[in-house]
């Protein structure tokens, strides 16, 4: 029996970033492919991006790509971080719709039919909003909650609360997202910025299938500053605010000094002086730090380096995007 080749443009592409996910991958691939087949039959592709894992993740992805023809395995040259791994995956997709999902099964693949149904109503983006975060630490929940709320109040873009990158997007949104050249990618913010018709589906975030979170405190802080610095210039204005307060205080101080001089107790006040020196020095350092955060990002951006480097792509099926030279996708948006 001759099988007809799958259509060139799949109806659905799924992108899953994988970093040290050797224990979750088999279960993830099984559940994800089942969910896709339930909705679009064979007309999908599953892009698994290995983000420089130090365990057997890449070997497992290669094996999975042998087992499932829909799987496209992508090996990045090193660990680029979650957001860039997703970016690399997105650049290789060709589907009419694209789903971003974590490989650790915290986002349930079984939500796909519901998301597809919402898209059929004419939405450009359907994102998952986390109602519960089972088994995540109280610290993570608290910091994440605080971060999303601070960002919302400071940002001019309306970034929805408590959403991750788990979302289904139209081709149009993905093409526009791929065309955005910024390095410090806070994808959920960028998608919100793109606008169009967006809606949410609430879901309970499950515990990890296996292993530990790879978002260390450092990576979380980095993502949070990327989110803030990419979507708000409010922190920069803090310097101006502090300067105004400082000037007011200096004015009062001048009056007090004149008064002290006229009535003869000028030598006193060492304590307040010391406190003020420390106070102003701290405020200045804080402002310098804020400038540094933005300046550093501008510096990195002006270098125009490629966002990611792909070493290898494996797939059993011919793939429209894969005929492009390997590094082209990354290079195209570095500059
Ligand atoms: N991930 C990645 N590169 C990294 C860190 C994480 O590709 O440097 C992937 C990871 O394999 C998972 C997803 O990004 O599929 C989310 O990471 P994680 O589960 O560690 O974060 P959390 O869900 O705890 O926020
Ligand atoms: Mg996770």
Is the Cβ atom of 51 under 6 angstroms away from ligand 1? yes
Ligand 1 centre from 65 Cα, in Å? 21
**pLDDT for 327 beyond 90:** no
Ligand 2 centre from 276 Cα, in Å? 46
Burial of 323 (0-12, 13-18, 19+ CB in 10 A): exposed
Q: What is the pLDDT of residue 324?
A: 47
Q: What is the pLDDT of residue 329?
A: 47
Q: How far apart are CA 294 and CA 230, in angstroms?
A: 9
Reported as a single tens digit per residue, the pLDDT across 77-115 is 999 999 999 999 999 999 999 999 999 999 999 999 999
Q: For atom 24 of ligand 1, which residue has the closest CA?
A: 213
Percent share of the chain, pLDDT over 90: 49
Ligand 1 centre from 81 Cα, in Å? 8
Is the Cβ atom of 32 under 6 angstroms away from ligand 1? no
CB of 124 within 8 A of CB of 173? yes
**Three-class SS state of 290:** helix
Ligand 2 centre from 98 Cα, in Å? 19
- Ramachandran angles phi, psi of 167, nearest 5°: -165, 155
**pLDDT for 215 beyond 60:** yes
- Ramachandran angles phi, psi of 193, nearest 5°: -60, -35
The residues near 326 (Cβ < 8 Å, ≥ 6 apart) are 310, 313
The closest alpha carbon to 95, from 9, 202, 200, belongs to 9
Q: How far apart are CA 20 and CA 292, in angstroms?
A: 32
The pTM of the full predicted model, rounded to 2 decimals, is 0.83
Q: For atom 13 of ligand 1, which residue has the closest CA?
A: 102
Give the residues across from 18 on adjacent strands. Answer: 50
Q: How far apart are CA 205 and CA 128, in angstroms?
A: 9
Ligand 2 centre from 32 Cα, in Å? 16
> Which ligand is closest to the CA of 212, given by its number?
1
Q: Which fold has domain 12-232+305-334?
A: Spore Coat Polysaccharide Biosynthesis Protein SpsA; Chain A (3.90.550)
Q: How far apart are CA 280 and CA 300, in angstroms?
A: 30
Q: What is the pLDDT of residue 55?
A: 96
Q: For atom 3 of ligand 1, which residue has the closest CA?
A: 82
Reported as a single tens digit per residue, the pLDDT across 28-77 is 999 999 999 999 999 999 999 999 999 999 999 999 999 999 999 999 99
Reported as a single tens digit per residue, the pLDDT across 277-319 is 777 888 888 888 888 888 888 888 888 888 999 999 999 887 7
What are the residue boundaries of the structural domains of the chain, listed by start?
12-232+305-334, 234-302
CB of 90 within 8 A of CB of 6? no
Is the Cβ atom of 79 under 6 angstroms away from ligand 1? yes
Q: Which residue has the higher pLDDT, 183 or 2?
A: 183
What mean pLDDT is predicted for residues 220-228? 88
Is the Cβ atom of 18 under 6 angstroms away from ligand 1? yes
């Amino acid at each position: 029996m001759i099988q007809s080749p799958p259509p060139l443009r799949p109806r659905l592409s799924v992108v899953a970033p994988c970093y040290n996910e050797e224990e979750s991958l088999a279960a993830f691939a099984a559940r994800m492919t089942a969910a896709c087949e339930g909705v679009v039959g064979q007309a999908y592709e599953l892009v698994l991006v290995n983000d420089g894992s130090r365990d057997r993740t890449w070997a497992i992805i290669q094996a999975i790509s042998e087992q499932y023809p829909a799987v496209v395995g992508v090996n990045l040259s090193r660990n680029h971080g979650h957001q860039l791994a997703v970016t690399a995956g997105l650049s290789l997709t060709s589907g009419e719709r694209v789903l971003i999902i974590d490989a650790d099964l915290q986002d349930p693949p079984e939500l796909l039919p519901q998301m597809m149904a919402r898209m059929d109503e004419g939405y450009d983006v359907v994102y998952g909003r986390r109602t519960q975060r089972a088994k995540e630490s109280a610290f993570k929940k608290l910091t994440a909650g605080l971060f999303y709320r601070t960002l919302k109040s400071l940002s001019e873009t309306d970034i929805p609360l408590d959403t991750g990158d788990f979302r289904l997007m139209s081709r149009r949104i993905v093409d526009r997202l791929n065309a955005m050249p910024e390095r410090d990618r806070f994808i959920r913010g960028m998608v919100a910025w793109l606008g169009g018709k967006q809606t949410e589906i609430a879901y309970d975030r499950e515990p990890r299938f296996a292993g530990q979170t790879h978002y260390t405190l450092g990576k979380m802080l980095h993502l949070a500053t990327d989110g803030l610095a990419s979507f708000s210039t409010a922190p920069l204005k803090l310097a101006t605010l502090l300067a105004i307060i400082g000037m007011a205080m200096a004015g009062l101080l001048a009056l007090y000094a004149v008064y002290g001089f006229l009535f003869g107790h000028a030598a006193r006040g060492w304590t307040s002086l010391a406190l003020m020196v420390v106070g102003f020095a701290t405020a200045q350092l804080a402002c310098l730090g804020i400038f540094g955060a933005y300046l550093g990002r501008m510096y990195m951006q002006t270098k125009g380096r490629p966002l990611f480097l792909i070493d290898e792509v494996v797939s059993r099926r011919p793939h429209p995007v894969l005929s492009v030279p390997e590094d082209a996708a990354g290079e195209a948006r570095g500059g």
